[in-house]
Amino acid sequence: MSARKSAEPSPESIARSDRKRLAAEEGARALAEVERQAVQIRSNMARLREVREAKEAADEAARIALPASTPKKRAR
């Protein structure tokens, strides 16, 4: 009278294990995609930072190269 499990899995358990396997694979792909996008964003931010710093340095050099402007006299 003991209820022993059969050696063959039921169709429901096969479907359940397939859904779990597919969900795990899709989750791994999603995490890999998110990480790839994060790497791209960080590299783009670094590139933009270098461009901004170069522009700021060029602006500062141009400001220093120009002679100091003398205050204009007020017209009466």
Q: Give the chain's residues under pLDDT 70.
A: 1-5
Integer Cα distance of 1 and 31 in angstroms? 49
Query: Tokens 């779990």, residue?
Result: 20
> What's the token pair of residue 28?
């791994």
List, for residues 22-43, the tens digit of each pLDDT value.
999 999 999 999 999 999 999 9
Integer Cα distance of 25 and 55 in angstroms? 45
Helix, strand or coil, per DSSP, at residue 52: helix
Question: First CA to last CA across the chain, in angstroms?
Answer: 117
